[in-house]
Each structure stands twice: as C-alpha cells, then as structure tokens.
Structure 1
Amino acid sequence: MSETITRIDENFWNIRGKFKIAGMLDVGTQASLIRLPSGKFLFLDSYSLTPDMQREIYSLTEGGKAVEAILNLHPFHTLHCDTMAAMFPQAKLYGSARHKRKCPDLKWETPHVESQEVCDLYGDVLDFTLPRGVDYISDDENVHFSSLMAYHKPSRTIHVDDTLTYFDLPKPISLILPSPKIGFHPTLAKALEQRPGAARDFLNWAQDMAKSWHDATTICAAHSGIAKIEPESFPQKISEALEKLQGKLEKHRAKFG
C-alpha cells in the first residue's frame, strides 16, 4: 500500500497508510480528514503522517491549528494515536476505552468516541453506527470485527475500519458481475456476543445500516482501499454480503437461540 492522500470531495480527504503484519505483509490502514461547515477540520482515526502528507495537511489546516478534533473509531487501531496527538496538540482527542488503556498518557476527552454525546457533536455532517450483536472491544486481541462506522453525508462517503471489506473482481469477470464485492470481516463468528438473539441483532443492524446509507457512492475501507459504487447499490451489496454469512449466523442461533 502506498502512502497517499485522495480528495474524495471538496470537504473530505482519505489518507491511505501502511500497516505491516509481522513486519512483512502490508495490509494498509487509513484516516480521513473532514472540513466542517465552521471551517474547522476533523480527523477520523489516526495515522503518522509522512513529511509530504504533513505539509499537505498543514497547508489545508492553517499549520494544523484548524484541526478541531481527532475521532479514533476502531478500538484496536491504536498505533498512531501518540504521533497524531503530537502533530495536532490543540485538537480534542476522542477514543474508546481501549484507546485510553493503551495510550494512557494522552489527554483524552471524557466521553467515549462511540457515545451519543460525541455523535451529536458532528451530526450535521456525519452519521455514526456501531454494529449490534457483536463485541465492540473483544476480549480476544485477534478479533477486530467491530468499529464505529462513519458516513459523511455531503460526499456520501462511508469511512469504515475492518467491519466492511471489499475486493474488485478482475477482468473480464468484472465486465459481467457487479464490482466491487462488499463483504464483512472474517472474524464475525468470534465477534458475535455469546447470548441469545445476538445473530438476529447483528442481521437487523446490517439491514438498517444499508437502508440508512442507501445513497452511498464511496467506501473508504482501512485494509482494502477506496471503492466507488453505483448510487443506490449499497443495500443490494450488503444483502449479498449477508447471504454469505447465513451459515455462521445459523450456527450461532443453534447454539444460543
């Protein structure tokens, strides 16, 4: 993955970064920058900007002074929080309980990032949703399924870490079948809460999310990249992704109800 900044819309930039597993396989990561109606800026997630990236971001944000807040959406994406906080020391810092445990020396705001209080702060331009029926912060450090997802309404862009993934079908298949193909993170079975009704709650959440964000035209996924989709195609893509999960969901229902 290359380290780049892509302008999605006049008020939304997606930052593509590197993340190597075992120091070898680069699966990529991301952050996004949003210009608010006030003229201030907001980051979704953290990334240690390269010098070139920093110059570009600083040129947009009055040397970083116009960055109002950093919202760290995924509880297991913590590697860049310290660096980002140092680059934008005046920005309010929001995160989950795990962010605060992993980076205890940072000056975190009291409300957790997933709280309704934080969501209401930016409700004029952003919708947020937290998957239901799954652990937001799993006890298993290898289960990174759930993240707070954000939808930038003006640009119709979804910013999502781990929960959703996609891949583009190669030609000539892509000329016949719709692409990109949207899917859910493969750790769903381990992420589902160990209780009756969790599978149903997850299914209902996914359907509600697809309906609410039906007009999405861009998906920025942490470990996949930037996907452009046809207007109004998102609900169908989520429906197809859920079809592939029926076995996992049925297995959970058989065990817990």
Structure 2
Amino acid sequence: MTEKLVDLGNGFWSIRGELKLAGVVDLGTQASLIERPGGGFVMLDSYTLPPRVLEQVRKLTDGGRKIEAIVNVHPFHTLHCEAAHRQFPDAKLYGLDRHKEKYPDLPWEAETTNSEECQALFADCLEFSVPDGIRLVCSSEHIHAGSVLAYHPASQTLHVDDTLSCTDLPFPASLLPMSGRLDFHPTIPLSLEKREGAVDDFRAWARNIAQRWSDCRHVACAHSKIVTMEPDGFEKQVLAALRRAETPLKLRKAAPF
C-alpha cells in the first residue's frame, strides 16, 4: 500500500499507510483526518506521517495546530502512538485501555474511545459503534477482531480496523468472488464473549449497523483499501458477510464455555 492522502470529500481524508511484515510484505494500515463543522480536525488512529503526507496534512490544518484530537480506535494498533503525538503534540490523545497500558507516559485523556463520554465529544462529525458480543481485547494477542467503528455521515465514509475487512487480491486472483468484498474478520468467533447470548448480540449489532449506516458509500479498511459501493451496497454487503460468518458463529455458540 503506497503512503498517500486520499480526499473522499466533505471533510474526510483517508491516510493510506504501510505496515511491512519482515520489512518486505506490506500489510497496510491507515489513519483518517476529519474536518469538524467548527473548523478543527480529528485524526482517527495514529500513524507516522511520511514527509509528503505530513506536508499535505499541515497545509490542511494550519501547520497541525487545528488537529484537536487523535482518537485511537483499535486496541492492537499501537505502533505509531508515540510518533503521532510527537508530530501533533497539541492534539488531545484518546485511546483504549490497551493503548494506555502500552504507553503509560503519553498524556492520554481520561475518557476511553469505547466510552459514551468520549464519543459524545465528537458527535458533531462522527458516529461510533462498539461491536456487541465480542471482546475488544482477548487473551491471545493474535486475535484482533474487536475495534471501535467510526462513521462520518457527511462523506458517507466508515473508518474500520479489522472488524470489517476486505481481501484485495491482485490479478488474476482478483477475479475470485472473495476479492474486493467486505467480510467480518475471521477471528470474530474466537473473540466472542464467553456467555450465553453473545452470538445473538453480535448478529443483532451487525444488522443494526447495516441498517443504521445504510447510506455508507466508502469503507476505509485498515489492511487493504477503500471499498466504494453503490447506494444500498453497504447494507447488502454487511448482511452477506454475516451470512458467510454463520457457520463458524454457530460452531462457536455450540462449544462449551
């Protein structure tokens, strides 16, 4: 994934980043920049902006002074928290408990990203949703399905890390049906809360966001690309992804706690 700033219109810019495995394979990562109605800006997720992108962001934000907050939405996306704070030291820093545990010396705000108190601070430009029925942090650090989803109604853009993902395959594999579509993260079943009703709660949550954000036209996925869809495409794709997840969800539901 080439590092770049993508203007999706109406005050939303997607920052496409790099995350190289063993220094070779680029898994991709992301951040997003949102302009608030009052002229300030919010950054979703932390990323070390390379010089060209940093210059673009500074031009948009009066040298970075208009970036009011950096809001981290995935508990395991922590690599760039320190660097983002260095690049924009005046921005308030919000994160989940794991961010604070990982970097206790950073000046974190008291409100965690998954709290109603934090989300209310940005209600002028963003809607948030925390998946029901699954854990944000599991005992295994290889399970990264849980995150806080952030929707920007003005641009009809959803910023999501891992919970919803897209497999972006090169040609000729791009011809396969799974390429380019939205899917729930394959570790969702392993992320389920160990209680009765967790699967049903997750299903209900998925159906709710499909309907609530049915006007969504762009989904910025962390490790692949921006998925652009036709009207009503988001609802159809989320419900289709839920149907594909039914077998592993049912198996997990039947397993003993």
Equivalent residue number for residue 8 of structure 1 = 8
TM (norm. structure 1) is 0.94
Equivalent residue number for residue 76 of structure 1 = 76
Matching residue's letter, 1:230: E
- Larger displacement relative to structure 2 (122-131 or 148-157): 122-131
| CA deviation map 1:198-253 (0-9, x unaligned) | 11111111001111000000000000111100111211111111111111111122
User: Offset at 1:84?
Assistant: 0.4
- Larger displacement relative to structure 2 (177-186 or 10-19): 177-186
Equivalent residue number for residue 162 of structure 1 = 162
Counterpart secondary structure, 2:108: coil
Change (3 A) 1:206 1:72: same
The answer for unaligned runs of 5 or more in structure 1 is: none
TM (norm. structure 2) is 0.94
Counterpart secondary structure, 2:143: coil
Is the contact between residue 168 and residue 224 of structure 2 (CA under 8 Å) also seen in structure 1? no
User: Offset at 1:55?
Assistant: 0.8
The count of corresponding residues between Structure 1 and Structure 2 is 257
Counterpart secondary structure, 1:239: helix
Counterpart secondary structure, 1:109: strand
CA–CA distance in structure 2, aligned partners of residues 253 and 56 of structure 1? 48
- Larger displacement relative to structure 2 (17-26 or 81-90): 17-26
| CA deviation map 1:47-93 (0-9, x unaligned) | 00001111111111111111100000000000000000011111100
Matching residue's letter, 1:102: K
Equivalent residue number for residue 85 of structure 1 = 85
Counterpart secondary structure, 1:245: helix
Is the contact between residue 93 and residue 109 of structure 1 (CA under 8 Å) also seen in structure 2? yes
Q: What is the root-mean-square deviation of aligned Cα atoms in Å?
A: 2.1
CA–CA distance in structure 1, aligned partners of residues 71 and 212 of structure 2? 22
Over 4 Å off, 4+ runs? 168-179
The answer for unaligned runs of 5 or more in structure 2 is: none
CA–CA distance in structure 2, aligned partners of residues 178 and 216 of structure 1? 20
What is the percent sequence identity of the aligned residues?
Answer: 45
Equivalent residue number for residue 97 of structure 2 = 97
Change (3 A) 1:250 1:108: same
CA–CA distance in structure 1, aligned partners of residues 181 and 126 of structure 2? 24
Change (3 A) 1:164 1:173: same
CA–CA distance in structure 2, aligned partners of residues 177 and 248 of structure 1? 19
User: Offset at 1:25?
Assistant: 1.9
Equivalent residue number for residue 49 of structure 1 = 49
Change (3 A) 1:178 1:187: closer
